[in-house]
Amino acid sequence: MDSSQRKGVSFEQVTLKDSFWTKWLSVHKKAVLPVCIANCEEKSGRISNYRKAAGTLPGEFEGRYRDDSDVYKSLEGIAYSLAVQPDSELERKADEWIDAIASAQQEDGYLVCYFIMGVNGDQRWSDMNKHEDYCLGHMIEAAIAYRHATGKDKFLKTAIRFADHFLSLFGEGKRHWVTGHQELELALMKLYEETGEEKYLKEAHWLLEERGHGYGRGEGIWGKAEWGSRYTQDDKPVREMTDIAGHAVRAMYLYCGMCDVGKYLKDGAYLQALNRLWESTVLRNMYITGGIGSSKDNEGFTADYDRPNDTAYCETCAAVGMIFWNHRMNLLYGDGKYADIVEKELYNGALAGVSLDGKKFFYVNPLASDGTHHRQEWYGTACCPTQLSRFLPSVGGYLYQTDSAGLWISQYISSRTETVIGQSKIALSQQSGFPWNGTVKLRFEMECKTSFLLSLRLPDWCKDFELFLNGKPYPAPYREKGYLKLMREWDNGDELLLDFKMPVELVRAHPKVKNDQGMIAVRRGPVIYCAEQLDNTAVFDSVVFDRETVFTQQWEENFLNGVMTVVAHTKAGEYRMIPYYAWDNREASPMKVWVPYRES
Amino acid sequence: MDSSQRKGVSFEQVTLKDSFWTKWLSVHKKAVLPVCIANCEEKSGRISNYRKAAGTLPGEFEGRYRDDSDVYKSLEGIAYSLAVQPDSELERKADEWIDAIASAQQEDGYLVCYFIMGVNGDQRWSDMNKHEDYCLGHMIEAAIAYRHATGKDKFLKTAIRFADHFLSLFGEGKRHWVTGHQELELALMKLYEETGEEKYLKEAHWLLEERGHGYGRGEGIWGKAEWGSRYTQDDKPVREMTDIAGHAVRAMYLYCGMCDVGKYLKDGAYLQALNRLWESTVLRNMYITGGIGSSKDNEGFTADYDRPNDTAYCETCAAVGMIFWNHRMNLLYGDGKYADIVEKELYNGALAGVSLDGKKFFYVNPLASDGTHHRQEWYGTACCPTQLSRFLPSVGGYLYQTDSAGLWISQYISSRTETVIGQSKIALSQQSGFPWNGTVKLRFEMECKTSFLLSLRLPDWCKDFELFLNGKPYPAPYREKGYLKLMREWDNGDELLLDFKMPVELVRAHPKVKNDQGMIAVRRGPVIYCAEQLDNTAVFDSVVFDRETVFTQQWEENFLNGVMTVVAHTKAGEYRMIPYYAWDNREASPMKVWVPYRES
């Protein structure tokens, strides 16, 4: 751990110029955001609820107790969108929402519509699993984002009042609180870093330490009796955790909170637990797409290596949660294995959650389908659409990190950023062919020569690459923990060319995964492939790969928004594959990732 | 950490059939052992000291206070040699030594010749830096080895009496003891595992916990004043350690003890400290040869990335210590990165410590020499010859590990072993071309089909490999933490063929290593190359590699006991390189590992 100085370059400082991602940002702006706004407003009562709670609109609460969180996640997405692309109409809409939200705040700071309008009297804070603190957490995240984007602090003041209300009731020497859905921990840490007020760090730490002592028992946070305390990660103190368990999204947010708090703790127990949990998650419980959570029953985990493909749960929110967590782990450790997971989710597990037109969303992401599983515009529990809405515009925040020694490049996405290293202002332009080809050009601009250490992620899927410095081959760059390390006195106009070879590759699952035994998947660079029956009517069910199967690739500009397709030339005929993220964007069709492989 | 079950297959269960290593075992038997025996007997007073201490021989103590340890390490080497190759004359010699040793034991169990014959009266246990407990530790290791090899337990009884004497004086609630040279901790853990007596585990733990509280202050363990408490790793509690510091060999033995004790501790603080220390050692303080300890002044560490080549200390004992430690780390974690270090030391850092004829030893292993640094037959402090003597015959113990799931193959050395996996007896024959070529054939024999997980190390230097199962290509084996993972119902006669491509490669140091900036080293497979001036009279001083330098390799059967040589075809002429371990085996000559590289 050498986290003392490593910081992410925030997405506001990164201008994306990427042909792949700017398409998605445009889809976000044109479709994802409007879908979220429409569904928070006229298609559901989410915004009206605030006005009703404030008494400015008649009527009863509509929806479910957790619905406020969708408003906040939508607002967070709006804030990030405004940060990269100002839009006065959108900002006006956000201000209108914020006014409604603030109007509903109670004298004591409390602000959850469902409970303010409680039909059974005041049941505030009576059930740890009713997401009041979860809503608060998302409010804090959105409010900080909105202040950063617009400079306006009304929303943040509202959030702080609600946070301080929570702190007045719960904490060291006050009432116990084992949240049923983690989120507030990481949000309080954001508030701590925003305000510098140590009480929020202490409260986040306290919330984490509440778990595993039985305080949640009897308060209903354990949901179905058969799930037990593992469902909400309350079966043991977080510092003793060894294996991921329970609800996948809750686990991700818990681990994010542990990262955020853990870097301030001296004993290192959180960080050690996180290392164990990471191995448990990534080595024993992650699908090849980056999806986690194999079971619909608990929206989470069952046993190590249990990975049904057709009934895989793999919630979109959890895939995005993996990005949040792994990005934090990389900031702590500077190890490319975490950025590899971020990349895997970016191009597979998370991205599959949204349709190519941005109008529909998967909640559940199986690796095989009989053709009946489809994206929907909205869900009763709308966490996934709003999760993507707040995630997509912030993609630029996962590219670059800085520390006292220099600059880290963790994702290869065309962009421009300006940052300060030591005393020097450095501008970096990146031109990347990812995910379709592995050519990356990096160009530095600076006023005067500057010595620093440049760390370039060497993706885990890359077996062969070339590196050129100012046009000349640079052999044998030093490698450490998944990064190539270059130190020199960098000069204005210095150019690096990276060529990560990206052939079609076959991949196996861990041999203990019974569901995938004797099967092979296809990967090209960071992209996992699948096939839909509609492209393969003759061979879809019977296809078998073997040692003589040849794979070819083709760029198809006008297919699925532009994709590299892969064709397997098998004995039985051609088997056409598309990127996994792009499935279910045409007529309904069965789909699968894993294909039987005949060894002999 | 999943250490619950992983165990090393001991060298006694492994029959080496390796053209490279059987040569070294023969050299060990014919030269290394006789050198150690002669130097313990007639060339020094080490054996006579025991008889003098027993009063059966007149005269005063000869030598230094720590000399008993050389006898024990020689005996340990003899025991390992007897275990793999019985030899009645050698065993008779060992029995004779053991009789002498036992005869000197005092009523209370004490047994260090220097202090028994103390010229200044009884100074036993008055100076923590006088290696009494260090001698005890080596006695325990040798005694256990000798019992395993011969079934005789006289020596072990002697050692246990001495150990119990130590326990009667030092421990919880008794006197403090911060050893000046760690070794007893790991030895007590061996004794714990040999006897099952928990008091030895507790004492080892106590010894580790004694450090870092100032108990050693004033008792002289800190040696030269300017070294301070970091020299003996007494500056902070072991669980808080973050960076390797001080004397390199002491650090290695300390970390071994921490591994051994750490796996029994619940809080995991030792393991977490070990992870930090490993990164500090391997990423920031290890030479490309595997050598550690850059400074002669403290026989240890200075600052991160400080790696002078000509004055590198790189004690042979520390390189062997790296094997001890990394092997333990691999047992704890099942991560190939540790076995990679074992391999690096096997073919470079440790092996360079002994001449090709086995008669001379390096204490210090620089990476550049002006031609005046040579191996010697013996040293006043003879730790390194005896370290190699006890290490070489046990090489077979680093090849295989088993756990509840199956078999791990960590080193590719031709051998045969029989082991039990689950309920089944499995015989494995390995035919390996290492270190000169990467072809490895593994053949399994078993009475009935057995399902198990086979983990095959994928060496860190290997960028390209092929795997064949029963003659058929096996594509895309799953990789995890540096191992390829294969699970199947293995059958009698199953054969795997691994072909690790082993081209000549250029390697850079971490760019923060100023000493190697602008330089490149040559590696082929696990072997690091160097050049001696006598092979390169014209170009040795002026050689520069550049992008047009071509490298060729040639097997030379009759040169340096058979080596693959590498020739760099540079603009200035041919530059001939030999494996680093084989340097200083001909006439005196300057040597270097790193060569300037012209980027343009």
DSSP one-letter string for A105-121: --TTS---HHHHT-TTS
Q: Which of B76, B91, B210, B299 is catalytic?
A: B299
A475, A506, A599 ranked by CB distance to B506: nearest: A475
Nearest chain B residue to A507, by CA: B476
Nearest chain B residue to A486, by CA: B511
Nearest chain B residue to A275, by CA: B1
Decide if A512 and B547 are in contact by the 8 Å CB cutoff.
no
Nearest chain B residue to A2, by CA: B276
Q: Which of B452, B480, B550 to mutate to test the interface with A (most CBs of A within 10 A)?
A: B480
| Distances, alpha carbon A129 to alpha carbons A111, A210, A307, A405, B212, in Å | 16, 14, 28, 44, 46
- The confidence score (pLDDT) of residue B3 equals 45
CB–CB of B241/B173 below 8 Å?
no
A267, A481, A599 ranked by CB distance to B472: nearest: A599
Residue B148 is classified by DSSP as H
- Bigger pLDDT: B387 or B120? B387
- The confidence score (pLDDT) of residue B298 equals 86
Decide if A283 and B477 are in contact by the 8 Å CB cutoff.
no
**Is A299 annotated as catalytic?**
yes
Mean pLDDT computed over B155-178: 97
Decide if A480 and B283 are in contact by the 8 Å CB cutoff.
yes
**Is B299 annotated as catalytic?**
yes
- The confidence score (pLDDT) of residue A226 equals 60
Q: What percent of chain B has pLDDT over 70?
A: 98
A269, A480, A511 ranked by CB distance to B510: nearest: A480
Whether the per-residue pLDDT at B224 is higher than 70: the answer is: no
Q: What percent of chain A has pLDDT over 90?
A: 89
Q: Which of A287, A508, A510, A512 to mutate to test the interface with B (most CBs of B within 10 A)?
A: A508
Both structure tokens of B579: 């494996």
Q: Which helix (H) or strand (E) holds B323?
A: helix B316-333
CB contacts, 8 Å: B474 with chain A: 599
Q: Which of A279, A489, A516 to mutate to test the interface with B (most CBs of B within 10 A)?
A: A279
Decide if B485 and A511 are in contact by the 8 Å CB cutoff.
yes
Q: Which of B3, B510, B517 to mutate to test the interface with A (most CBs of A within 10 A)?
A: B510
The alpha carbon of residue A473 is apart from the nearest alpha carbon of chain B, in Å, by 7
Domains, chain B, in order of start with CATH, read 19-169+382-395 (no CATH), 401-500 (2.60.40), 504-596 (no CATH)
Decide if A511 and B487 are in contact by the 8 Å CB cutoff.
yes
Count of pairs with CB atoms under 8 A, one residue in A, one in B: 82
The alpha carbon of residue A571 is apart from the nearest alpha carbon of chain B, in Å, by 18
A463, A472, A506 ranked by CB distance to B599: nearest: A472
CB contacts, 8 Å: B272 with chain A: 268-269, 271-272
Q: Identify residues of A whose CB sits under 8 angstroms from chain B CBs.
A: 1, 267-269, 271-272, 275-276, 283, 405, 453, 463-464, 469, 472-478, 480-481, 485-488, 505-512, 520, 547, 597, 599-600
Average pLDDT, chain B: 95
| DSSP letters for A364-427 | ---SEE-S----BS--SS-HHHHHHHHHGGGGGGGSEEE-SSEEEE-----EEEEEEETTEEEE
CB contacts, 8 Å: A465 with chain B: none
Tokens 């925030």 identify what position? A10
- Encode pLDDT of B77-119 as tens digits: 999 999 999 999 999 999 999 999 999 999 999 999 999 998 7
CB contacts, 8 Å: B510 with chain A: 478, 480, 485
Whether the per-residue pLDDT at B1 is higher than 50: the answer is: no
Q: By mean pLDDT, which of B210-219, B343-352, B408-417, B574-583 is the weakest?
A: B210-219
Q: Which of B40, B383, B384, B530 is catalytic?
A: B383
Nearest chain A residue to B1, by CA: A276
Average pLDDT, chain A: 95
B476, B507, B547 ranked by CB distance to A508: nearest: B476
Listed residue (A403, A276, A1) closest to B280, CA to CA: A1
CB contacts, 8 Å: A507 with chain B: 476
Q: By mean pLDDT, which of A50-59, A286-295, B292-301, B369-378 is the weakest?
A: B292-301
Mean pLDDT computed over B386-406: 95
- The confidence score (pLDDT) of residue B223 equals 63
Q: Is A31 exposed, middle or buried (0-12, 13-18, 19+ CB in 10 A)?
A: middle
Any bridge partners for residue A443, and if so which?
A: A429, A495
Specify the pTM. 0.95
Positions of chain A with pLDDT under 50: 1-3
Q: Identify residues of B whose CB sits under 8 angstroms from chain A CBs.
A: 1, 267-269, 271-272, 275-276, 283, 405, 453, 463-464, 469, 472-478, 480-481, 485-488, 505-512, 520, 547, 597, 599-600
Q: Is A302 exposed, middle or buried (0-12, 13-18, 19+ CB in 10 A)?
A: middle
**Residue B121 half-sphere exposure toward CB, CA atoms < 13 A:** 1
The alpha carbon of residue B273 is apart from the nearest alpha carbon of chain A, in Å, by 9
Whether the per-residue pLDDT at B221 is higher than 80: the answer is: no
Decide if B272 and A276 are in contact by the 8 Å CB cutoff.
no
CB contacts, 8 Å: A477 with chain B: 508
Q: Which of A132, A185, A299, A345 is catalytic?
A: A299
Decide if B511 and A463 are in contact by the 8 Å CB cutoff.
no
- The confidence score (pLDDT) of residue B381 equals 85
- The confidence score (pLDDT) of residue A3 equals 44
The alpha carbon of residue A504 is apart from the nearest alpha carbon of chain B, in Å, by 12
Mention every residue, 6+ apart, whose C-beta is less than 8 A from residue B44. B62, B63, B67, B378
Any bridge partners for residue A175, and if so which?
A: A170
- The confidence score (pLDDT) of residue A216 equals 80
- The confidence score (pLDDT) of residue A408 equals 98
- Encode pLDDT of A473-519 as tens digits: 999 999 999 999 999 999 999 999 999 999 999 999 999 999 999 99
CB contacts, 8 Å: A472 with chain B: 547, 599-600
User: Own/partner pairs for A467-472, CB < 8 Å, 24+ apart?
Assistant: A467/A496, A467/A497, A467/A498, A467/A499, A468/A496, A468/A497, A468/A499, A469/A494, A469/A495, A469/A496, A469/B599, A470/A494, A470/A495, A471/A495, A471/A497, A472/B547, A472/B599, A472/B600
The alpha carbon of residue A597 is apart from the nearest alpha carbon of chain B, in Å, by 10
Q: Which of A480, A523, A594 to mutate to test the interface with B (most CBs of B within 10 A)?
A: A480
Any bridge partners for residue A401, and if so which?
A: A8, A408
The alpha carbon of residue B567 is apart from the nearest alpha carbon of chain A, in Å, by 18
User: Cα(B307)–Cα(B295) distance, rounded to whole angstroms?
Assistant: 9
Q: What ipTM was estimated for this complex?
A: 0.91
A283, A472, A510 ranked by CB distance to B600: nearest: A472
* Length of chain A as a residue count: 600
